[in-house]
Amino acid sequence: MSRPISAPRGIRDLLPEDGPAWSRVEGIARDLSARYAFDRIETPLFERIELFSRGLGESSDAVEKEMFRVSGAAGSEEERAEWALRPEPTAGIVRAYLEHGMHVRPGPQRLWMIGPMFRYDRPQAGRFRQFVQWDVEVIGDPGPMVDAEIIELGHRFYAEAGVGEVVAYLNSIGDATCRPGYRDALVDYFAAHEDRLTDDSRRRLRVNPLRVLDDKDLDPELAAGAPRSLDHLCDACRAHFAAVQALLDDLGVRYEIDHRLVRGLDYYTRTTFEFYVAGRRGQQQALGGGGRYDGLVELLGGPDTPGIGFGIGIDRTVLAAAEQGVAAAADAPLLVVVGADPDALSPRLKVAAALRGAGLRVRVDGSERKLGKQLESAAKLGARYAILVDPQLSLERVILRDLKASEQREIALDEVAASVR
């Protein structure tokens, strides 16, 4: 026997026992996407690397450290270096938005998708190299109402998923008018305390000073004294943020201001937010996050267009719901079609097809084993009923056996559905 092959590190197989919990949570995301009037979009799993380096920023972790490069089977070095698995969906959605001229369609575009993302990060509890995000984006709406609408949507999702109390941490990081001033203030402050910074922060200070605030090893005292973006907002950004908060207050959505919430991707402007289970703030604990990206469409070659959205981690949501003991609804009862005649497979398959056509959940036993063995297997599979195809009867009639009660009766095939529901 040859050596079994194991999965790459940092990925997870979704096994049959995981299916119901995933389907439940994904079902809530799909349903809410419809209720909040979002339209579905799908973009490819891989894109040109340039889309990510330009869109998310060269200095973001997703681009600098975590890119999964994809190479063609053959081709020049240059061609091989061109692609990467998507670390997040927003850049690809904006690319598609521009490529398909969606900016000339009426109204803001409200788009959603669910799919796998890839980040070549160090695997840990809650941090995977392939993970699933539910993503929503509104492109072409300057807000602030839509900011509150999106955050309320996130809250509703977690409530319906049953992950316990969730807090949205909220900040505003300004725009092209006020960010440069804030950036300078941060550089002045941290440069004066450079000896207290980690190596990583010292590097961040040069390429992207806001991200020093994101350093988990930042000296807490230093962090507490750092300039706050809310104190540096221009009038327009300040008014926008005040309106977002007032709308959230009116909606009764729970949020807390977090002055260090700058987010890890460079495209953000103004409103930024992250969702956590109350009291569970930490690395790898964010259940979701997002914000406004008013410069991204233009950065990717389009007209000046505002945007906002979030990405919610489905893996982490499923784990959090499981911790709360939320159970998925049971599947529909299982029926197994068995046959007394070991040679007659066609009648079994026909009966199974008819029952499936009537909407039932059906397996069919194609073995030549004795009837008793087939019934035993059906019970082991957890089936509630067996349908016996009896060679003495026409195919319009079958025997319905209740495997729990060990009772059976002859019944018309087209009456089975009504009697087992």
In the complex, which residues of this chain contact ligand HAM (CB under 6 A)?
A: 88-90, 119, 121, 127-128, 131, 133, 135, 137, 264, 286-291, 293, 309-311, 313, 315-316
**Contact call for residues 63 and 56 (beta carbons, < 8 A):** yes
Task: Identify which of residues 135 and 147 has a Cβ nearer to ligand HAM in the complex.
Answer: 135
Distance of CA 259 to the CA centre of its chain: 26
What 3-state class would DSSP assign to 289? strand
Task: Identify which of residues 140 and 290 has a Cβ nearer to ligand HAM in the complex.
Answer: 290
Q: Which is it for the CA torsion 380, 12, 126, 265, positive or negative?
A: negative
**Contact call for residues 172 and 281 (beta carbons, < 8 A):** no
Residue 255 CB, nearest distance to ligand HAM (Å)?
16
Task: Identify which of residues 318 and 400 has a Cβ nearer to ligand HAM in the complex.
Answer: 318
Task: Identify which of residues 296 and 355 has a Cβ nearer to ligand HAM in the complex.
Answer: 296
Q: Which residues pair with 124 in a beta bridge?
A: 127
Structure tokens at 388: 């016996």
Task: Identify which of residues 294 and 315 has a Cβ nearer to ligand HAM in the complex.
Answer: 315
CA 388-391-393 angle, 5° bins: 80
Residue 61 CB, nearest distance to ligand HAM (Å)?
9
> Strand 385-389's sheet: what is its strand order?
361-364, 334-339, 385-389, 397-402, 407-412
List, in sequence order, every beta strand (DSSP E) within 83-123: 83-85, 109-118
What Cα–Cα distance (Å) separates residue 266 from each residue in 54, 67, 296, 297, 357? 9, 15, 9, 13, 52
CB within 8 A of 182, min separation 6: which ones? 173, 174, 210, 227, 229, 232
Task: Identify which of residues 130 and 198 has a Cβ nearer to ligand HAM in the complex.
Answer: 130
Residue 254 CB, nearest distance to ligand HAM (Å)?
17
| Total number of residues shown for the chain | 421
Residue 262 CB, nearest distance to ligand HAM (Å)?
12
Residue 150 CB, nearest distance to ligand HAM (Å)?
9
Task: Identify which of residues 111 and 337 has a Cβ nearer to ligand HAM in the complex.
Answer: 111
Say what angle helices 199-207 and 179-192 make with each other, to 10 degrees: 150
Q: Which is it for the CA torsion 36, 39, 45, 49, positive or negative?
A: negative
d(CA 271, CA 357): 50
Residue 202 CB, nearest distance to ligand HAM (Å)?
24
Residue 405 CB, nearest distance to ligand HAM (Å)?
46
Query: Which residue's C-beta sits nearest to ligand HAM?
Result: 313
Residue 33 CB, nearest distance to ligand HAM (Å)?
14
Task: Identify which of residues 24 and 129 has a Cβ nearer to ligand HAM in the complex.
Answer: 129
Helices (H), 164-234: 179-192, 199-207, 220-225
Peptide bond into 180 cis (omega under 30): no
Residue 267 CB, nearest distance to ligand HAM (Å)?
8
Task: Identify which of residues 175 and 365 has a Cβ nearer to ligand HAM in the complex.
Answer: 175
